[in-house]
Amino acid sequence: MNFQHTEDRRMLADTLTRFISEQYGFETRDRISHSASGFSQEMWARFAELGVVGALFDEAHGGFDGSGFAIAVVFEQLGRGLVVEPFLDALIVGQIVVRAGNGTQQALLADLMSGSKIVALAHGEPHSRYESSRVAARAVRDADGWRLNADKAVVQQGEHAQVLLVSARTAEAEDAEDGISLFLVPRDAAGVNVRSYGRIDGGRAAEVSLDDVRLDAVALLGGEGHGYAALEYGIACGVLALCAEALGAMDLAKDHTLEYLRTRKQFGVQIGSFQALQHRMADLLLEIEQARSALINAAAALHCERVKRERALSAAKYSIGRIGARVAEECIQLHGGIGMTWELPLAHYAKRLVMIDHQLGDEDHHLARYIALGCDAG
C-alpha cells in the first residue's frame, strides 16, 4: 500500500502550516482559547475559506477528499498549532449526516464547509463512561413529532453551536446498540438549556439538558432506532482526528525540547551534550515514531470493514494516549521548572496531550475494546 500523500494533500498541509504559523501564533491562540467564546468566528471563517473543512468530506457531498489520510493531514497541522476552532465536531457530525441524513438534512454540510454554521455532538452522558452505545436519553413520539429528554455532558462549543446532533433512545435497553435514534436539534429550541465552562486545555464546552424538547418529525436523522452505525462511524472519524492532532502536538513539543537542549547551558556546556539526556530524547523520538505508525495504520483502515476499522482505531488511540502522556512528562522534565510556566507554549501542549487521552475514550477503554473486538472476530 502506498502511504505517500497525494500532491493535493501535501499542498493542503503546506498551506495550513503556513497559515497557522503566520496568523495563529501562540499569543493569538492563547488569547482566543481563553476568550469569552473560546474560539474565533473570524478564524473559523478563514479556515473554511482555505478549504480546510472541505478537505474532511468527499466530492460527492461537496468536499474534495474525505479520506482517512486527509483527516490525518488536517488534524496533525491543527495539533501543531493547538487550534481551538470547532473542527472535531464539524467532522463527526458531518460524517454522521453524510451516512444517515436525507437530501434536505445533508444541506447542512454546505454550511459546515463554508464556515457559516457551527454544530456540536451531544452524545456523551454523565454515566456513559466512554461507551458509545450507552444512551439513557429518551425520545418518544407525539402527535406532531418527537419529545426529547436528555442530559448530555462535555458538549464541545455547545454554547455557540446553532445545531446539536443529539442521540436518544427510542427502544431497547440503556446499553444496547439497537434502539438509538439521532436528532438534529436547533440550539435555540424551547427546553434546551446550556451551562458553559472553560476547558483546562483552552476553548469551551458545556453541559446540555433537554427538558421535554418538542421537535418536528423531520428532525429525525436516519431510521428510528437505527442510528448507531452512523454514530459509530462518526466517532471513528473523531478518534482518528484526535490521534492526528496528538501527533502534531507531540512533534511540536519534541521540537521545542530539542531546541531547549541545544541552547540551555549548565557548567558552561549545552545540556544536550549530556549522555543521559540524549538517551531519554532518543527513546522519546522512537515512541513518537511508533505513534506515527499507529496513526498511519488507522488512517488506512478508516474505510475498511467495521471490525478491522475499529480495532485499528482503538489500537491507535491506546498508543496515542500512552505515548502522549510520556511525551508531555518527559518534555516538561527535560525543560526543568520552566516547563511548567504558563508563558511557555510547552505547558499548553502537555495539557492538550493529556486531555486528548480522555476524549472519545481513554487508553484503558480502547485497550479493552481492542481485545473485545478481537474476541468477537475470532
Write down the H helix ranges in the chain. Answer: 7-23, 26-33, 41-49, 68-81, 87-100, 108-114, 228-263, 275-301, 306-335, 345-356, 363-377
Residues 263-291: tens digit of each pLDDT: 887 777 887 777 888 889 999 999 999 99
Residue 5: predicted pLDDT? 76
Separation CA 195–CA 334 (nearest Å): 39
Residues facing 149 on adjacent strands: 138
Instruction: Find out whether 215 and 183 touch, Cβ atoms under 8 Å.
Output: yes
The answer to whether residue 377 scores a pLDDT higher than 70 is no
Determine the 3-state secondary structure of 2 from DSSP: coil
Domain co-membership, 257 together with 339: yes
Separation CA 298–CA 237 (nearest Å): 10
Residues 236-260: tens digit of each pLDDT: 999 999 999 999 999 999 999 999 8
Residue 252: predicted pLDDT? 95
Is the residue at 25 inside a domain? Answer: yes
Confidence class for position 309, pLDDT limits 50, 70, 90: very high
Domain boundary among 62, 82, 114: 114
Q: Indicate the range of 3-12, 139-148, 164-173 predicted with least confidence.
A: 3-12
CA quadruple 342, 344, 350, 351: dihedral sign: positive
Residue 268: predicted pLDDT? 77
Q: In degrees rounded to 5, what are phi and psi of residue 148?
A: -115, 140
Separation CA 146–CA 364 (nearest Å): 37
Is the residue at 298 inside a domain? Answer: yes
Domain co-membership, 188 together with 272: no
Beta-carbon contacts of 327 under 8 Å, excluding residues fewer than 6 positions away, are 250, 253, 254, 284, 287, 288, 353
Domain co-membership, 76 together with 181: no
In the chain, the amino acid numbered 74 is V
Is the residue at 2 inside a domain? Answer: no
pTM of the model as a whole: 0.96
Residue 274: predicted pLDDT? 77
Percent of the chain predicted with pLDDT > 70: 98
Q: Indicate the range of 59-68, 229-238, 271-280, 365-374 predicted with least confidence.
A: 271-280
pLDDT (mean) for 59-69: 94
Confidence class for position 368, pLDDT limits 50, 70, 90: very high
Domain co-membership, 90 together with 28: yes
Determine the 3-state secondary structure of 60 from DSSP: helix
Confidence class for position 109, pLDDT limits 50, 70, 90: very high
- Angle at which helix 228-263 crosses helix 306-335, to 10 degrees, equals 20
Residue 161: predicted pLDDT? 96
For the chain, what is the domain count?
Answer: 3
Burial class (CB in 10 A: 0-12, 13-18, 19+), 126: exposed
The answer to whether residue 372 scores a pLDDT higher than 60 is yes
In the chain, the amino acid numbered 336 is G
Is the residue at 50 inside a domain? Answer: yes
Residue 87: predicted pLDDT? 97
* Mean residue pLDDT across the chain: 94
More confident residue, 282 or 6: 282
Separation CA 210–CA 36 (nearest Å): 24
Is the residue at 257 inside a domain? Answer: yes
Domain co-membership, 254 together with 292: yes
What's the CATH number where 252 sits?
A: 1.20.140.10
Cell matching residue 195: 451551562
Range of the domain at 13: 7-114
What's the CATH number where 149 sits?
A: 2.40.110.10
Is the residue at 1 inside a domain? Answer: no
Residue 3: predicted pLDDT? 61
Residue 378: predicted pLDDT? 59
Domain co-membership, 220 together with 233: no
Domain co-membership, 241 together with 338: yes
Other beta carbons less than 10 A from residue 294's beta carbon? 21
Residues 161-177: tens digit of each pLDDT: 999 999 999 999 999 99
Is the residue at 291 inside a domain? Answer: yes
Domain boundary among 77, 95, 114: 114
Domain co-membership, 141 together with 233: no
- Angle at which helix 41-49 crosses helix 7-23, to 10 degrees, equals 150
The answer to whether residue 18 scores a pLDDT higher than 90 is yes
Domain boundary among 206, 225, 244: 225
Domain co-membership, 96 together with 133: no
pLDDT (mean) for 73-84: 97
Is the residue at 293 inside a domain? Answer: yes
